[in-house]
């Protein structure tokens, strides 16, 4: 009996308080974001190296990119960061409906980003521009494709969080998943804010 009680106590000790869970989740998310930053940092470094090696090729190739579409997608993601931040603030204040709506708007923005990217890729392919066209487009498709993959992952995560928010699983006392989802989405936006001027404006 005593052994059973000890086992129960040990099991109970394994459960974290909401504060402990929040701290652990936040630390884990920042570590994950750190690895993501290093991943894209490596691609940015590769871009800088090859751009220094082939400046004329990069200048000529980047002029093939559609700046207008890139600018539209930049505006979409900046706006989505705002709606996500409003959603996080809303759930921290216990406003579940507003939080759910703001997350929904964020998801719609992410889908809009994907649609614009779909047409942009389609335009490149129609002009016979592919990843193997040259080193610039190899890096362009790799960096924007990897970023798009992160957008898709973010949309799935936010979709689950949105449903749980509307189901009132989160409130002002427990909003850790919403905050972690917001952190991830801000990283997605931040990476694009670096990609847009690098690829579309500077070349």
Q: What is the pLDDT of residue 131?
A: 96
Q: What is the pLDDT of residue 23?
A: 84
Say how far apart CA 178 and CA 171 lie, in whole Å: 10
When pLDDT is averaged across residues 172-194 and rounded to a whole number, the result is 95
Backbone angles phi, psi at 173, to 5 degrees: -90, -25
CA 41 to chain centre: 15
Q: Percent of the chain at pLDDT above 70?
A: 92
Q: What is the pLDDT of residue 4?
A: 46
- Max distance between CA atoms of the chain, in angstroms, equals 79
pLDDT greater than 60 at residue 10: no
**What band does 24 get if pLDDT is binned at 50, 70 and 90?**
confident
Is 165:66 a contact under the CB 8 Å cutoff? Answer: no
When pLDDT is averaged across residues 84-103 and rounded to a whole number, the result is 98
Say how far apart CA 196 and CA 24 lie, in whole Å: 33
> What 8-state DSSP symbol labels residue 167?
T
pLDDT greater than 70 at residue 15: no
When pLDDT is averaged across residues 40-46 and rounded to a whole number, the result is 95
Which of 76-79's residues contact partners 24+ apart within 8 Å by CB, and which partners?
76/109, 76/112, 76/113, 76/116, 77/109, 77/113, 77/188, 77/189, 77/192, 77/193, 78/189, 78/193, 79/109
Q: What is the pLDDT of residue 112?
A: 98
When pLDDT is averaged across residues 58-80 and rounded to a whole number, the result is 96
């Amino acid at each position: 009996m005593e052994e059973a009680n000890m086992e129960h106590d040990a099991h109970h000790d394994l459960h974290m308080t909401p504060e402990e869970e929040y701290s652990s989740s936040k630390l884990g998310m920042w570590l994950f974001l750190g690895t993501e930053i290093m991943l894209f940092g490596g691609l940015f470094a590769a871009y800088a190296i090859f751009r220094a090696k082939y400046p004329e090729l990069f200048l000529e190739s980047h002029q093939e990119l559609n700046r207008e579409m890139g600018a539209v997608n930049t505006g979409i993601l900046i706006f989505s960061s705002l709606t996500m931040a409003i959603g996080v603030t809303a759930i921290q204040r216990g406003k579940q409906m507003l939080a759910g709506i703001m997350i929904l708007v964020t998801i719609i923005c992410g889908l809009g980003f994907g649609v614009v990217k779909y047409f942009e890729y389609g335009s490149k392919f129609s002009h016979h521009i592919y990843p193997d066209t040259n080193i610039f487009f190899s890096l362009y498709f790799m960096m924007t494709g990897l970023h798009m993959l992160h957008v898709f992952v973010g949309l799935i995560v936010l979709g689950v969080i949105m449903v749980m928010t509307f189901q009132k699983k989160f409130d002002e006392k427990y909003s850790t998943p919403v905050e972690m989802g917001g952190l991830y989405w801000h990283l997605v936006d931040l990476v694009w804010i670096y990609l847009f001027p690098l690829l579309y404006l500077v070349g």
